[in-house]
């Protein structure tokens, strides 16, 4: 794994860097091939809380977790535990899906389409732009992806309809799907 470790309002010492790398290397046992993408780690201190955010882009999923605690080492341990739970949950879902489909692996096809997602903090002021590739997947997988990245909505290429759809979490805890006519 390659790492991009940076600090906001905190000096990233060699000891912290080594600890993060050692802990995140534990995740490699869950993958058949070594992770070639760059793992982004951001450490910060805000109002006395030590926060760590880890994002690992993979071919079919983006693993993302964030944790806060009174101690940065504890936050690192918590975030790695959270990532391990996400990986196990994702692998279980994929195994169930492949069993249902008799092993047909259509989920990982990449159509190369890109889309822009906007995150506005103030009305009419664009403060952030995100770009990502849309991966063909079914609605169940899109909901899983949305929950894994911790967002309230998720845009994806629907593998059944071949259209761009959005799933979202409703205030009643259920899920909704937005599809164009």
Least confident of 17-31, 97-111, 158-172: 97-111
Domain closes at, from 101, 117, 146:
101
Domain-located, residue 129? no
pLDDT digits (tens, 9 = 90+) for 126-149: 777 877 778 899 999 999 888 888
**Mean pLDDT across 100-128:** 47
Confidence of residue 112 (pLDDT cuts 50, 70, 90): very low
**Beta bridge partner(s), residue 42:** 6, 53
pLDDT digits (tens, 9 = 90+) for 148-167: 888 889 999 999 998 999 99
Q: Give dist(CA 36, CA 157) in Å, integer.
A: 24
Domain-located, residue 20? yes
* Same domain, residue pair 68 and 145: no
Tell me which residue range forms the domain holding 169.
Answer: 136-179
* Same domain, residue pair 144 and 95: no
* Same domain, residue pair 93 and 32: yes
Tell me how many degrees the CA angle 123-124-126 measures, rounded to the nearest 5: 105
* Same domain, residue pair 81 and 19: yes
Q: Give dist(CA 179, CA 177) in Å, integer.
A: 6
* Same domain, residue pair 140 and 97: no
Q: What is the CATH number of the domain that holds 156?
A: 3.30.505.50
* Same domain, residue pair 10 and 90: yes
Domain-located, residue 82? yes
Does 103 have pLDDT greater than 80?
Answer: no
Domain-located, residue 170? yes
pLDDT digits (tens, 9 = 90+) for 41-79: 999 998 889 999 999 887 777 889 999 999 999 999 999
If one counts the domains in the chain, the total is: 2
SS (H, E, C) 18-84: HHHHHHHHHHHHHCCCCCCCEEEEEEEEECCEEEEEEEEECCCCEEEEEEEECCHHHHHHHHHHHHH
pLDDT digits (tens, 9 = 90+) for 83-102: 998 888 877 777 666 666 65
Does 123 have pLDDT greater than 60?
Answer: no
Domain-located, residue 130? no
Task: Calculate what percentage of the chain has a pLDDT beyond 90.
Answer: 42
Least confident of 23-32, 35-44, 53-62, 104-113: 104-113
- Written as six digits, the tokens of 93 are 């879902």
């Amino acid at each position: 794994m390659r790492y991009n470790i940076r600090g906001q309002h905190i000096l990233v010492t060699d000891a912290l860097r080594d600890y993060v790398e050692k802990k995140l290397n534990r995740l490699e046992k869950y993958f058949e091939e070594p992770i070639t993408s760059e793992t982004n780690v951001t450490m910060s201190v805000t109002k006395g809380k030590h926060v760590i955010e880890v994002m690992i882009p993979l071919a079919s999923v983006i693993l993302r977790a964030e944790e806060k605690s009174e101690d940065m080492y504890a936050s690192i341990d918590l975030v790695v535990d959270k990532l391990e739970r996400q990986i196990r949950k994702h692998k279980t879902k994929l195994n169930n899906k492949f069993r249902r489909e008799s092993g047909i692996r259509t989920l990982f096809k990449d159509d190369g389409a890109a889309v822009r997602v906007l995150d506005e903090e103030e009305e009419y002021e664009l403060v952030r732009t995100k770009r990502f590739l849309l991966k063909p997947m079914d609605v169940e997988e899109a909901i899983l992806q949305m929950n894994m990245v911790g967002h309230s909505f998720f845009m994806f290429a629907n593998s059944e309809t071949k259209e761009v759809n959005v799933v979202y979490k409703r205030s009643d805890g259920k899920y909704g799907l937005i599809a164009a006519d």
